[in-house]
Structure 1
Amino acid sequence: MVDRVRARDLAFLTSETAETPLHNATIEIFDPGDSGFDYTRLVELIRDRIAFVPRYRQRIQVVPGHLAAPLWIDDENFDLGFHVRRSALPRPGTSGQLLELASRIVSRPVDRTRPLWEVYFVEGLEDGRVAILSKTHQALVDGVHTVDLGQLLLDAQPTPREFEPDDWEPRRAPAPGALVAGAVRDAIIDGQTVVNTVRGTGRAMVREVDERTKRVRSVLGAVTGRRPKSRGMISGELSQQRRVVTVQTCLSDYRKVRQAHGGTVNDVILATVTGGLRSWLMTRAESMGGIRQVRAVVPVSVIDEELEATSLGSQIAAHFVDLPIGEASPVVRLHQVSYSFQAHKETGRSVAANRLAGVAGFAPTTFHAIGSRVAADELRRGYQLSVTNVPGPQAPLYAAGAEMLASYPVAPLVPGHPLVISVTSYNGGVFYGITADRDLVPDADLLGICLREALDELLEVSSAGRQRAPRGRRTTNARTKPKGKGTTS
């Protein structure tokens, strides 16, 4: 059976530009210890398990004349060494040097002529640690047919699981004539083929018109000396370069705040993001301009038969929340965020965090990939920031015997949005990954500092024994638009 690229995945391919490479990335830190974990062991590990994600050995094949959607076909020249790369920092490599390397890697689009993924084994970190940086295109991981490769590489025990040898042989690529004949046949038999082709072509044309319009505006701005007005505090035309910032915090701190003031760990994380944004914006030369809220889209896990099923046991939906950055009180900010999600929890559609964390394998990488797809789909609804929080297992995981110490998600930027925040909790830690446009947000590292300070502020008022407000009670300026919630704990 012909495996054509689905309309939604084709949309990601046609909408991608040099300024908006659409791949999710993850930075994972490991302690090799006595395991002997090195580049060679990583290649062997991926070779042993890649059979469980066949699409990681397939490439995109365009149909001549674009008569139908492209196909997924086996890469006859598949080279694992091309996709799994070795890099090193000058010893002892610092976290700052690692993030600079990661920023440059995530700025580059993946090679469209090969399978749409890359993995980097980075040596030379201080204390003998190593890092694995992986990036996978949004069109590759849909959570339905394909999960993220990173979900399959980790084990719950230091001793790796063993699998039968993989005797994969690529199928021969179809000839151009066969591609055209197949496109005609599918158009006659399956009308959806024509619909998907029209959708993909239409998106490509719209993108081209939009790019030309931007170029004309840029030229006019240079001639008149006027620059296009920004559409908001966190918006602007993206460059081709990224900046990655990571923040590590303790899960126990969020639980202390939850214990003192109610809500969920997810609520506390979003309140921390709100407080961090508030402080960060106040340090910038620009004024907040009286803006008291930042509209955020937060992908959440729900049980909803009307949504596309995933292999993770739930569906992913978009929830919109107004982060109250104009509110000075950290406790009031927390309760406003909590109220926004309370109605979702009461719908019965939400999925508890402990259920998500119990999904086989390290599912956060797949959840983040799907969350980025959801955020991209919701652009038309007009939000300013995407925040994805995914709970992970609270026990150590291993790659070929090496313990994973940290996992930082790195989400892609979408047009007009130079900032995105992703969060993963794992083994007692809460790990933030901030992706920012290098030109529009040169002070992204300051936002990381502000996030830490916002959490400290919440801890301080929690330790002071402030009166706990009733759960679900509306506070000043709180707004809600029920959708569902799944990252509670």
Structure 2
Amino acid sequence: MSERLRPRDVALLAEESPSTPMHNATVEVFDPGDSGFDYAELVRLVQERISFVPRYRQRVQTVPGRLANPVWVDDDRFDLGYHVRRSALPRPGTLDQLRELVARIVSRPLDRSRPLWEIYFVEGLAGGRVALLSKSHQVLVDGMHTVDLGQVLLDTSPEPKELGLDEWRPHGDPSPLSLMAGAVRDSLTERGTVTATARSTTGSVLRGVAGAARSVGRVADALTNRAPLPGSPIVGPLSQQRRVIAVRTDLGDYRTVREAHGGTVNDVILATVTGALRAWLMTRGESMRGIRQVRAVVPISVIDDEMEATSLGSQIAPHFVDLPVWEPSPVVRLHQVSYSFLAHKETGRAVAASRLTSISGFAPATFHAIGSRVAARERRSYQLCVTNVPGPQAPLYAAGARMLETYPVPPLLEGHPLAIGVTSYDGHVYYGLTADRDLLPDADLLGPCLQEALDELVDSATGGRTRAPRGRRKRKTETTQ
């Protein structure tokens, strides 16, 4: 029997629009070396591993008359070549060119008539490197029934595991009559079906009314020549185009700051984000007026029997923190961020980073997806979403090719033109920022601002005495905008 979508999944689909595609993405850079890793090998790898995530061969099927929520059904015309695509940069491709390609691809919504995911094999990077860009709809990756496909493609050893091809055959495409019969049956046998359907339908109507009201308001403002009230520069209506910023930093720098000032690596990362926002806002001049803090949501892993567990062994809950962008001292900013998380740590519900990094497979992509789902439910309560997920500190491989870098590309929600994802991996901390291309045309400046904010914190911890020469550090902590 086909599985029915839950109300929160239906809500995610209903909230999607051309300006707010609801998919998470990840960019991974590989060194093929002598592995022979190419497009054909990627197709073979996906074909071999996709059986571990069967939902990646299913599509969303609506029920006639909306008698019940849509269902997941096997895609009887599933075409792996459609989902695993090939692209290239002009050789020798730079990381700047890569992130421009990524920005254009993530700006496009996924085709709802097919399984909601795509992977791009990008050739032509300098040094013979290649990149994988994967994007999966938030409704697809829930952490319970489905994890991100990228999690099952990577191995801890350059010798890939040979699993062989599976014998998958799609079930027949359900007829409209069978879909209606299933909806009636579920309504009679499952108590929650009627309630879930009513909740989804009501929510869809309310979201439509709210969207119409926002449109009418914008038209009225234009006709009366009335500008919107001034507010935060990271709140506003979205366009259909995105900008992607990627920054690589050294994990050792965060540990140096932690050892000198206390707290956790997570605290230092958020203090770095705070310092970067402060510097960026100051470049905008008058935009800094009246802004003392930025309200951020940071989805975190918790232990809570009352919450819905993921298949990864933990729950994800929103944590709100006010980032003190008005504070000039980097150390004070760090202590204020640390204090915000202190009460959470003392409850005993916090999940240690070591527990997350011990999860089999490369789980950060899955946790970023779940964090984005949590943030979507709370979008009226914050200005900025920061998902920070610790990853393994040993190299991973795809079909023998070593993964060198990994950058999360979080989605933007309506009214939120900036989102930040952070992943630590193999001795580095990788920032992936998604910004609205039209509303934040100067978002590229956030890349250098992040590096400068981290440098400022390291200087406060070392007194500037033990730092490597600036030229050497640039090679070690490369920034791409």
Superposition TM-score tier, normalisation by shorter sequence: over 0.9
Q: Which residue pairs with 1:241 in the alignment?
A: 241
Partner residue in 2 for 1:478? none
One-letter amino acid of the counterpart of residue 438, structure 1: R
Residue by residue, what CA displacement relative to the aligned partner does 1:232-288 show, whole Å, maximum 9, x if unpaired?
231001111111100000000100111111111000000000000000000014332
Counterpart-to-counterpart distance in 1, 2:330 and 2:74: 53
**2:458 alignment partner in structure 1:** 459
SS at match of 2:252: helix
Contact 2:47-2:165 at 8 Å conserved across structures: no
Partner of 1:378: 378
Deviation at 1:63, TM superposition (A): 0.5
Q: Deviations over 1:6-58 (max 9, x none)?
A: 11111101111111110000000000011110000000000000000000000
| Paired position in structure 2 for 1:354 | 354
Matching of residue 140 in structure 1 with residue 140 in structure 2: yes
Match of 1:434 in 2: 433
User: Where do 5+ consecutive residues of structure 2 fail to align?
Assistant: 466-481
Percent of aligned positions with the same letter in both sequences? 68
Counterpart Cα distance in 2 of 1:252 and 1:272: 14
Please name the residue that 2:159 is paired with. Answer: 159
Q: Structure 1 residue 327 and structure 2 residue 360: aligned? A: no
1:105 — aligned with what?
105
Aligned 8 A contact 2:20 2:238 in 1: yes
Match of 2:447 in 1: 448
Tell me the equivalent position of 1:63. Answer: 63
Q: Return the TM-score normalized by structure 2.
A: 0.95
Instruction: Tell me how far 1:231 sits from its aligned partner.
Output: 4.5
CA distance in 1, matches of 2:47, 2:257: 44
> d(CA) in 2 for partners of 1:292 and 1:452?
22
Aligned counterpart, 1:36 = 36
Instruction: Calculate the TM-score normalised by the size of structure 1.
Output: 0.93
Give the aligned partner of residue 302 of structure 1: 302
CA shift at 1:210, angstroms? 2.2
Q: Which runs of 4+ in 1 moved over 6 A?
A: none
Matching residue of 1:422: 421
Distance verdict in 2 for CA 1:416–1:175, change over 3 Å: same
Question: Which residue of structure 2 aligns with residue 179 of structure 1?
Answer: 179
Per mean C-alpha deviation after superposition, the further-off stretch among 355-364 and 199-208 is 199-208
Q: Check whether the contact 1:154–1:361 (CA below 8 A) recurs between aligned residues.
A: yes
Q: Deviations over 1:404-439 (max 9, x none)?
A: 001100111111100011100000010000000111
Q: How much has 1:312 moved relative to structure 2? A: 1.0
Q: Report the alpha carbon displacement of residue 182 of structure 1 after superposing the two structures with TM.
A: 1.1
Q: Provide the C-alpha distance between the structure 1 equivalents of 2:241 and 2:255, rounded to a whole number of angstroms.
A: 36
Q: Quote how far apart the aligned CAs of 1:164 are.
A: 3.9
Unaligned runs of 5+ in 1: 467-489
Indicate conservation of the 8 Å contact 1:15/1:203, yes or no.
Answer: no
Distance 2:286 2:126 in 1: 38
The corresponding residue for 2:392 is: 393
How many Å separate the matches in 2 of 1:134 and 1:229? 38
- The residue aligned with 1:486 is none
User: Take 1:145 and 1:325, find their aligned partners in 2: how far apart are those partners?
Assistant: 39
1:223 to 2:223 alignment: yes
* Alpha-carbon displacement from aligned partner over 1:163-213 (angstroms, at most 9, x marks no partner): 143000000011111111111111122231111212222222122222222
User: Shift of the alpha carbon at 1:229?
Assistant: 2.2
SS of residue paired to 1:110: coil
> What residue is the counterpart of 2:479 in the other structure?
none
SS state of the match for residue 295, structure 2?
strand
* Equivalent-residue separation in structure 2 for 1:207 and 1:127 (angstroms): 48
Q: Following the alignment from structure 1 to structure 2, what is the Cα–Cα distance between the partners of residues 376 and 60?
A: 20
Q: Which residue of 2 aligns with 1:474?
A: none
How many residue pairs were aligned? 465
* 1:120 matched to 2:120: yes
RMSD of equivalent CA atoms: 1.2
In structure 2, how many angstroms separate the alpha carbons of the residues matched to 1:223 and 1:66? 38
Instruction: Please state if 1:93 is matched with 2:93.
Output: yes
Determine the C-alpha separation between the residues in 2 that align with 1:16 and 1:442: 23
C-alpha distance in 1 between matches for 2:66 and 2:231? 35
